[in-house]
Amino acid sequence: MSFDAAGTPLLAAENLSLTRGGRDLFSGLSLQVARGQLWQVEGENGAGKTSLLRILAGLSRFGYEGAVTRAVNPLYLGHHSAVKALLSPRENIAWHPSGEADYAQADIDDALARVGLYGYESLPCHSLSAGQQRRVNLARLYLSNNPLWILDEPFTAIDHAGVAALQARFVEHVAEGGAVLVTSHQVLEVDCEVHRVVVGAGAAA
Amino acid sequence: MNAPGTAGFFLRLLRRQLVLALRRPIEIINPLLFFAIVMALFPLGLGPAPDTLAAFAPGVLWIIALLACLLTSESVFRGDFEDGSLEQLLLSPQPLYFSALTYSTAHWLTTGLLLALVSPVFALMLNLPASAIPALAASLFLGTGILSLIGCIGAALTVGLKRGGMLISLLVLPLYVPVLIFGSAAVRGAVEGIPVAPYLAILGAMLSLGIALAPLAVAAGLRISLDA
């Protein structure tokens, strides 16, 4: 685990401003995500949450003002699940293009079991439901050593029990010294401090 | 920020691409079928006289191989763009240069290499002299590698567009031209009894240049396409 080098923030943004289609989505937005913090990005539909997350993750590199510094490449889960329908859950994780590590098969099966995919490891993903396909992607949260998670609507298509398990995982990760930045319209039910950043019109942030 | 196991990652990525291709065999068969169909049309258009066909065969075979590569190159990054895999690839701590090279290699293995392997059969159907067949296979073997690398540049630049099909042809065809010239010249040289080694050497040099530079362009193209 590479979580122990405390001190500098994992992710810092200064004075971010973004205009899309003539509309100011946000301006003068600053935040510092340190180890051990859970951040929730809030805002209405179309407020610019995903745009903000793509900027913070480093996927959008132009077209905005301000500066972003990252201590590490984040583990980013976006709207698209990056799950290949023709591959099994096990293959999807083992050959994942994010290339974070060469996981042992036992670890992969363990992570898949923890997201409720025990018994589905070697079925092609096109035979899984939408929620199960999202869960394949979420299994990475049980494998990765990456301290910084940027998650865009991770609860989409996930059932109640799954959402609770996921929130418990966030708390665990934060307690281990990681950091989580998440967008969701749901209220996070976690027993740790949630830092909030509000995006969009009428935002007092 | 190099993650450990870089070589292992590219082998896994290559394996992923090849397994994906094998589970959709139609995409591997399509270019071969295209090659066969178009080639079957030439005797109908040019007349079945064996001498005429033999005279046109080097150019015809190379042009069809080139078009088959062009047709398939559009889809290299399409699926991975749509399902978000490319975002993950860009955020990967692994060098994007080698990832781009891996995608090109996978494309070549599933189109160019197969075209080079089956080309002798088609060459016989067009009455190409048997002495020119090794030159044909060798020139396609090297040349399609260059075509895959160039095609990936076009694919990376147009992957974010809804209909990039025509644009990719415009971007890529000018770069294909030198490969076509030297590739078909090698086969014609073999028919006329001229040494083909110089042509193959030029193709090899172009391939080396392509391996060195094309992945840089592909990486930059992918970053631009995903920025939107």
Q: Could you tell me the residue range of the domain that residue A122 belongs to?
A: 81-145
Number of A to B CB contacts under 8 A, please give it: 92
Residues 4-23 of B with CB under 8 A from A: 4-5, 8-9, 12-13, 15-16, 19-20, 23
pLDDT in tens, A147-177: 999 999 999 888 999 999 999 999 999 999 9
User: Which of B11, B18, B27, B88 best probes binding to A when mutated, by most A CB atoms within 10 angstroms?
Assistant: B88
Is A204 contained in some domain? no
**3-state per-residue secondary structure call for chain B:** CCCCCHHHHHHHHHHHHHHHHHCCHHHHHHHHHHHHHHHHHHHHHHCCCHHHHHHHHHHHHHHHHHHHHHHHHCCCCHHHHHCCHHHHHHHCCCCHHHHHHHHHHHHHHHCHHHHHHHHHHHHHHCCCCHHHHHHHHHHHHHHHHHHHHHHHHHHHHHCCCCCCHHHHHHHHHHHHHHHHHHHHHHHHHHHHCCCCHHHHHHHHHHHHHHHHHHHHHHHHHHHHHHHC
Is A169 contained in some domain? no
B164 vs A12, more confident: A12
Residues A131, A95 share a domain = yes
pLDDT of residue B3: 55
ipTM field: 0.86
The three-class DSSP label of residue A91 is helix
Residues A85, A68 share a domain = no
Decide if B16 and A60 are in contact by the 8 Å CB cutoff.
no
State whether the Cα torsion A47-A50-A56-A61 is positive or negative: negative
Tell me how far apart the alpha carbons of residues A143 and A108 are, in angstroms, rounded to a whole number.
7
Residue ranges of alpha helices (H) inside chain A are 49-57, 89-94, 105-114, 130-138, 160-175
B223 and chain A: CB distance < 8 Å anywhere?
Answer: yes
State whether the Cα torsion A106-A108-A114-A118 is positive or negative: negative
Residues A27, A70 share a domain = yes
Residue A205 has pLDDT above 50, yes or no: no
Residues A58, A33 share a domain = yes
pLDDT of residue B24: 92
Nearest chain B residue to A76, by CA:
B88
Residue ending a domain, choose from A145, A168, A185 = A145
Nearest chain B residue to A150, by CA:
B91
pLDDT of residue A193: 86
Residues A188, A101 share a domain = no
**Span A129-153, average pLDDT:** 91
- Measured between beta carbons, which residues in chain B are less than 8 angstroms from residue A80? 82-84, 87
Domain count along chain A: 2
Is A5 contained in some domain? no
Name the minimum distance, in Å, from the CA of B112 to any CA of chain A: 23
pLDDT in tens, B60-100: 999 999 999 999 998 899 999 999 999 999 998 899 999 99
pLDDT in tens, B144-165: 999 999 999 999 999 988 877 7
Residues A62, A112 share a domain = no
Residues A91, A117 share a domain = yes
Q: How confident is the model at residue B188 (pLDDT cuts 50, 70, 90)?
A: very high
Structure tokens at A65: 């003002």
Q: How confident is the model at residue A7 (pLDDT cuts 50, 70, 90)?
A: low
Residues A70, A86 share a domain = no
Residue A147 carries which DSSP code? S
pLDDT of residue B137: 96
**Span A91-103, average pLDDT:** 88
Structure tokens at B86: 């490319």
Is A4 contained in some domain? no
Residues A141, A45 share a domain = no
Name the minimum distance, in Å, from the CA of A160 to any CA of chain B: 25
Q: For A41, list phi and psi in degrees, rounded to 5.
A: -95, 125
Residues A86, A67 share a domain = no
Measure CA A174 to chain center.
13
Decide if A99 and B9 are in contact by the 8 Å CB cutoff.
yes
pLDDT of residue B4: 63
Segments making up each domain of chain B, as ranges = 43-227
Residues A69, A99 share a domain = no
pLDDT in tens, B8-30: 999 999 999 999 999 999 989 99
Residue B2 has pLDDT above 70, yes or no: no
